[in-house]
Structure 1
Amino acid sequence: MRFKRPTKIDHGLTVIDLVPFINIIFLVLTFLLLLSSFSFQSGMTIKLPKTITSDVIKDENLIIIVNSEDIISFNGKVLTVKELQVELSKYTLSTHSILIKADRRASLGRLVDVWDLCRGLNIEKINIATD
């Protein structure tokens, strides 16, 4: 005896299960929220050299950062020495002083390059930050 199998009627509509889709959306949203809480700061991490005697500078400073890998940063941008010269030439340097924040592991050669660049632009107030 053969039984008739019920025939499927296709109405042309596909049913999409939304639960997995919503789960993925929530996972992506959670990932983005967590990622935004770990946002990176625009500056570089440096360890300043320690000194016994130092003075507090109260002038308006332009800050140049040289990290331990001799990478130069100015106004949140990584620059070469030539690019730093172009950036510094945009300022009225007679009213500003330069503060060089060099990591204690930065090479003396890179520090001297930045110092000479500032002296070449006739900047008279050049300081090195210490702890």
Structure 2
Amino acid sequence: MQVGGGRKAYDEINITPMLDLAYVLLVIFILMATASVQGIKVDLPKASSAKSLVQPKTIALTVSNDGQIYMDAFPVTIPDLETRLRNAKATDPEVPIVLKGDQTAQYGKIMEVLDLCRRLDLNKVGLVTGKQAAS
């Protein structure tokens, strides 16, 4: 007759609860990382591959099809935009900026915004595109 009641010692660790936690954290991370940047609705041009630059405290600059410039959904002029970007850079020198331009927007306005970012030494500028339809 066995004294231990037929129980054997555990020689492996059950990692199922730890994997469950890891999957939940992964889902939360994916949901938070894919949050969209607020701004004005524009018809974006398509790109075959696009890298996401959406991060917390990202500044969204939008050029509409009529050439109006928006900063986080508020209309601005180039001098006003320069002042606001200088203030944002003073707060965070590495502030990321995403630029959304309507595909029918005036190319010169988009270049003015990009040139302003370059003059202010804002290097983290990304261009937002839509996803290309599968062929």
TM-score (norm 1): 0.63
What is the rounded CA distance, in whole Å, between the counterparts of 2:53 and 2:71 in structure 1?
19
Match of 1:102 in 2: 101
CA drift at 1:58:
4.2
CA contact (8 A) 1:46 1:67 kept: yes
**Structure 1 unmatched ranges of 5 or more:** 1-41
* Cα distance change on mapping 1:83 and 1:95 into 2, 3 Å: same
How many positions carry a matched residue from both structures? 90
CA drift at 1:75:
2.6
CA drift at 1:43:
4.5
Deviations 1:58-93 (A, max 9, x none): 434211011000100113321111110011111134
Among 85, 89, 96, the residue aligned to 2:86: 89
Deviations 1:11-67 (A, max 9, x none): xxxxxxxxxxxxxxxxxxxxxxxxxxxxxxx94320111011111224342110110
Among 55, 59, 62, the residue aligned to 1:59: 55
What is the rounded CA distance, in whole Å, between the counterparts of 2:115 and 2:92 in structure 1?
15
Match of 2:44 in 1: 48
- Decide which structure has the larger Cα Rg and report it: 1
CA contact (8 A) 1:50 1:130 kept: yes
CA contact (8 A) 1:70 1:106 kept: yes
Which amino acid in structure 1 is aligned with residue 99 of structure 2? I
* Cα distance change on mapping 1:55 and 1:112 into 2, 3 Å: same
* Cα distance change on mapping 1:86 and 1:103 into 2, 3 Å: same
List 4+ stretches of structure 1 deviating above 6 A: none
Among 67, 71, 77, the residue aligned to 2:74: 77
**Match of 1:116, SS?**
helix
Percentage of pairs with the same residue: 26
Aligned-residue CA RMSD (Å): 1.7
TM-score (norm 2): 0.61
What is the rounded CA distance, in whole Å, between the counterparts of 2:63 and 2:51 in structure 1?
21
**Structure 2 unmatched ranges of 5 or more:** 1-37, 131-135
